[in-house]
Amino acid sequence: MSVSVQLNHIRKAFDKTYAVNDVSLTIESGELFFLLGPSGCGKSTLLRVIAGFYRPDAGQLMFDGADMINVPPHQRNTGMVFQNYALWPHMTVAENIEYGLQLRKLEKQQRNEKIDAVLDMVQMSEYRDRPVNTLSGGQQQRIALSRALVIEPSVLLLDEPLSNLDAALRQNLRDEIKQIHSKTKITTIYVTHDQVEAISMADRIAIMKDGVFIQVGTPREIYQNPADPFVASFVGETNFIFGNIKEIADGKAAIETEVGIIHTENIHHDFTPGQEVSCSIRPETIHFNENNALNQLSATVGAITYLGRTEEYELKIADTLKLKAIIHNPGTDTIKPGESVNISMSPESVVPLPIK
C-alpha cells in the first residue's frame, strides 16, 4: 500500500556543511516524484534520509503521518534501486530477487509466485535462473528494479538508476518505469541530474540547489514558468537578455535592454519600475522572418548545427549579444552562416525573472 511522504524542516550536515538545509515537502501517495539538481546539491542525501540510511540532524520525516525518524531502514517498507545496481554477483537472478522475501519469511511457493510476477513485469522471465553477472547493464538494472518491487514497498526510491546506461537503453527503461508505476501506483521518489528524464517522466519535480528546494511543480510549470534564472537554465535550454522594467501594468511589461525594448505578457513575479530582470527566452520560441509587431530584432547567423529533427542557430545581435534558436523539422532550404535575418519573440514567450 502506497503512502504519502512528509518532510518537515529536514536538515543533514556533513563536517559542518549542510547537504540538506531545512527542506519541507509533501509527496502524495502514488506520486512519481523527482528530485532534480546538479551533482552535490543534496538530492541523494535526502533520498538516503527517507530510506533511513542517514539520520537527519533536525526535522520530521513521516509516512502517512507516522513518524519514521526512529524506524530502522528494514522496517520502513521501502525498496531502493541504486546507480550501481548493488546486486550479488554470485547469485542467480531469482536468488537476488528472493533475498528480501526470505527476510520477510514468506513460504517458498509464495516467493516463487512473486518472483515470477515481477520478472514478467520487467520482461525478464527467461533470465530467471541465469547468473546475474552474465547480464548486460540494462538487464541488471531491470533485476535491481525487480528486487525492489517484489517486496511490494510503500515507497520506491530510485537513485540515478539509468545514469550508467547508453542513451537508447535509457529511453526504453524510462518508458518501462513509467508503465510499471502506472500499474503499481507505488509512491516513487526518483533522484536524477538528467532534466530530460525528469521532464518526460515526473508527476512533479523539486529542483534542488545547495541543499534547498528552489522550485516545486509539474514539469510543464517548471519549464514554462521557472522561478529564477538557475531553474530556467537547468531545466532545458534558454537565452537570457538582461534589462530593467520600464513600464508594467495589467500583466504586461516593457523591458529596456541593450538591444532595445522587449515586451512581455508572461509575468509571474511582483516587479516594480526600474527593477533589474533577466528575460528567459527558450530557443524554440525564436522565429525567423515573421512579421510580429513586437520584439523584432536584426541578427547575423553564426554557426549552424543540423541534428535531423532540429536545427540549431547561433545568432549575433548588435555585436554584444548571442542567442540560440532552434527550428524543428528543418527543411532543405536553410539559412546560411553570415546571412542577416529578422527574428521575433512573441510577448508570451518572454519570461522576466528577478535577479537575486
Grid cell 525478464 in the structure block, residue: 124
- Looking up residue 334, the CATH number of its domain turns out to be 2.40.50.140
* Confidence at residue 103, expressed as pLDDT on a 0 to 100 scale: 74
- Looking up residue 17, the CATH number of its domain turns out to be 3.40.50.300
Q: 251 and 113, same structural domain?
A: no
Q: Which of 229, 249, 275 is the last residue of a domain?
A: 229
* Confidence at residue 100, expressed as pLDDT on a 0 to 100 scale: 76
φ, ψ at 332 (rounded to 5°): -85, -25
Q: 172 and 52, same structural domain?
A: yes
Q: Is the pLDDT assigned to residue 198 strictly greater than 80?
A: yes
Q: Is the pLDDT assigned to residue 102 strictly greater than 80?
A: no
Q: What is the pLDDT of residues 248-261, one digit of tens each?
A: 999 899 999 999 99
Q: 136 and 105, same structural domain?
A: yes
Q: What is the mean pLDDT of the chain?
A: 91
Domain span at residue 252 reads 237-354
Distance CA 66, CA 61 (A): 8
If 0-12 CB within 10 Å is exposed, 13-18 middle and 19+ buried, where does residue 15 land?
exposed
Q: 246 and 274, same structural domain?
A: yes
pLDDT band at 292 (very low <50, low <70, confident <90, very high): low
Give the mean pLDDT of 283-305: 88
Distance CA 152, CA 118 (A): 10
Distance between first and last Cα of the chain: 43
Q: Which of 229, 254, 287 is the last residue of a domain?
A: 229
Q: 154 and 50, same structural domain?
A: yes
pLDDT band at 133 (very low <50, low <70, confident <90, very high): confident
Q: What is the pLDDT of residues 230-279, one digit of tens each?
A: 999 999 999 999 999 999 999 899 999 999 999 999 998 999 999 999 99
What cell does 68 get?
Answer: 519514521
Distance CA 70, CA 55 (A): 8
Q: 170 and 207, same structural domain?
A: yes
Q: 116 and 44, same structural domain?
A: yes
Q: 276 and 259, same structural domain?
A: yes
Q: Is the pLDDT assigned to residue 9 strictly greater than 80?
A: yes
Q: 155 and 216, same structural domain?
A: yes
Give the mean pLDDT of 51-56: 95
Distances (CA, A) of 124 to 131, 141, 163: 13, 11, 21
pLDDT band at 203 (very low <50, low <70, confident <90, very high): very high
- Pick from 218, 356, 346, 344: which is nearest to 226 by CA? 218
What cell does 264 get?
Answer: 512581455
Q: Which of 229, 264, 289 is the last residue of a domain?
A: 229
Q: Domain total for the chain?
A: 2
Q: 259 and 156, same structural domain?
A: no
* Confidence at residue 76, expressed as pLDDT on a 0 to 100 scale: 93
Q: 99 and 68, same structural domain?
A: yes
What cell does 148 get?
Answer: 525492489
Written as one letter, the residue type at 344 is S
Q: 241 and 220, same structural domain?
A: no
Q: What is the pLDDT of residues 68-100, one digit of tens each?
A: 999 999 899 999 988 777 888 888 988 888 887
